[in-house]
Amino acid sequence: MNEKISRFLFYPIWELISSRSTVKFYTTLRNLEKTQWLDKKELEKVQEVKLFNLLKHAYKNVPYYTHLFDKLGIKPQNIKKKEDLQKLPILTKELIRENFQDLLARNRKPNSYQLDHTGGSTGKVLDFYRDLKSREYALAINRRFWRWAGYDIGTKILRIWGSPSDINKYDNIRTRLHFKLTNSMILNSFEMGETQLGEYAEKFQEFRPKIVHGYANAVYLFAQYIDKNKLAFNKPKSVITTSEKLYPYQRKLIERVFGCKVFEEYGCREMDLIAHECESHDGMHVANEKYILEFMYDGNHKTSPRIGSIILTDLENYAMPFIRYKNEDMASLMQNDCRCGRKLDKISYITGRITDFLIGTNGNRVSGAAVTPFFAKLRGINEFRIVQEHKDVVRVMLVRSKTVDPTISPSINKFLKKFLGDRMHIKLEFCRKIPKLKSGKMRIIINEMRGRRT
């Protein structure tokens, strides 16, 4: 379909049907296109105004923060700059679970927010409420980021994406029509055996996308297949990798095979997209208009190029304010100015959510990012890890709560064998605690057969 017809005709019609305002979206997008060029002091002013408004709202309408501020003996006006945020304690996932209802704003109408949950990339699911206005703002940030890679609404995009639940959600007439009208195609990253990769290659050659977007490991695996089989195709404009850490050796192969630059992006379910590579490919720019980033080093707050725990404040989610939230990822804050001229903060080397591929007895390869949503939704399971010990043996480590679904064992067996083959032996191990690696990272997928390169 012609890109301009898709962008200026079908997209606005679709948004109207979906009760969303394209006028508001493009107004926000145009504003973001301007603010990305502000200097650091101007960006900080934008953040401080938003922060003060968020804190006033949280103190007045969110019981958790009302109690917290009163307990600490401070008021919103005592936090005038982002450095003053250190007066508040860190918000952890455990605190969110323990104070879930008290973190929901009392002045928000039920139709103004929705319940969401993380995909379990750290081994534990987290439920939270998302402000719908915040979601719309995040979509505009997403579009600004992707424009750096050459994407705009209507541009042909191929996405290697999705857990089974995602794919099932996409497999309906309404969504297929949406993909058609917006020049989009999705390939199931959950099924990446030789047969599926061959089918994907044919679809890729026929579709001729200008942008390829997908899980880092899945895109890498697809590039390996194309390279091994010496397939010819129209080169895309760029590749965007997400959800998993992109390693230098993966970037090198992907860029060589696809004949274009790779743009790495970083986000988390609780916050949407947070940072993205620009055209200079020197770190990832943070969306400072929506987020305040801090870093914790050994429990102390510092500004340093060293790797530290990411602390996030979402300036737009009023339904359930995330103020100084520790999402369990790690990165480093880059101090050098970017050649692109943007003064948005830059981060690099995202770690913490390390996934791998499981390899089925049927030859299918399953991405860790695709497996985690299923386990994260299991009732009564607090943590999990999947270890492939042998070509036909997978061990599933589970930390259970007091109430566990009695059908959990057959459900896991059925789920994994569906994608890894009937000859795969699934061993379930219930344990009190799942150990971290010596590095302190929590790996949820470990394939002992692969010998991961570093």
Predicted local distance difference test score (pLDDT) of residue 351: 67
Does the residue 244 lie in any domain? no
Rounded to whole angstroms, how far apart are CA atoms 17 and 442?
42
Q: How does the average pLDDT of the chain come out, rounded?
A: 87
Q: How many folded domains does the chain comprise?
A: 1
Listed range (60-64, 265-269, 298-302, 447-451) with the worst mean pLDDT: 298-302
Pull the structure tokens for residue 290: 């929506």
Does the residue 230 lie in any domain? no
Q: Residues 37, 342: contact at Cβ < 8 Å?
A: yes
Does the residue 436 lie in any domain? yes
Does the residue 13 lie in any domain? no
Q: What share of the chain is helix, strand, coil (3-state, %, to 5)?
A: 40, 25, 35
Predicted local distance difference test score (pLDDT) of residue 303: 47
Does the residue 429 lie in any domain? yes
Pairing, β 307-314 against β 325-334: antiparallel
Rounded to whole angstroms, how far apart are CA atoms 314 and 323?
7
Mean pLDDT of 398-423: 86
Q: Is the pTM of this model over 0.75?
A: yes
Name which residue leads in pLDDT, 156 or 298: 156
Confidence label for 452 from pLDDT (cuts 50, 70 and 90): very low
Q: Is residue 166 predicted with pLDDT exceeding 70?
A: no
Listed range (11-20, 22-31, 252-261, 323-332) with the worst mean pLDDT: 11-20
Domain CATH number, residue 420: 3.30.300.30
> Which residues, 6+ apart, have CB-to-CB distance to 144 below 8 Å?
29, 32, 33, 36, 287
- What's the pLDDT tens digit per position in 233-283? 999 999 999 988 888 888 999 999 999 999 999 998 898 999 999 999 999
Q: Is residue 454 predicted with pLDDT exceeding 50?
A: no
Name which residue leads in pLDDT, 62 or 161: 62
Mean pLDDT of 137-146: 96
- What's the pLDDT tens digit per position in 373-382? 788 778 788 7
Predicted local distance difference test score (pLDDT) of residue 188: 86
Name which residue leads in pLDDT, 416 or 437: 416
Does the residue 381 lie in any domain? yes
Name which residue leads in pLDDT, 357 or 212: 212
Q: Is residue 436 predicted with pLDDT exceeding 80?
A: no
Does the residue 25 lie in any domain? no
Does the residue 416 lie in any domain? yes
Domain that holds residue 440: 357-447
Mean pLDDT of 28-39: 97
Listed range (211-220, 232-241, 349-358) with the worst mean pLDDT: 349-358
Mean pLDDT of 147-173: 78
Percent of the chain past pLDDT 70, that is, above it, reads 86
Rounded to whole angstroms, how far apart are CA atoms 367 and 356?
6
Confidence label for 366 from pLDDT (cuts 50, 70 and 90): confident
CA distances from 349 to 242, 304, 371 (A): 13, 14, 24
Name which residue leads in pLDDT, 374 or 341: 341
Confidence label for 453 from pLDDT (cuts 50, 70 and 90): very low
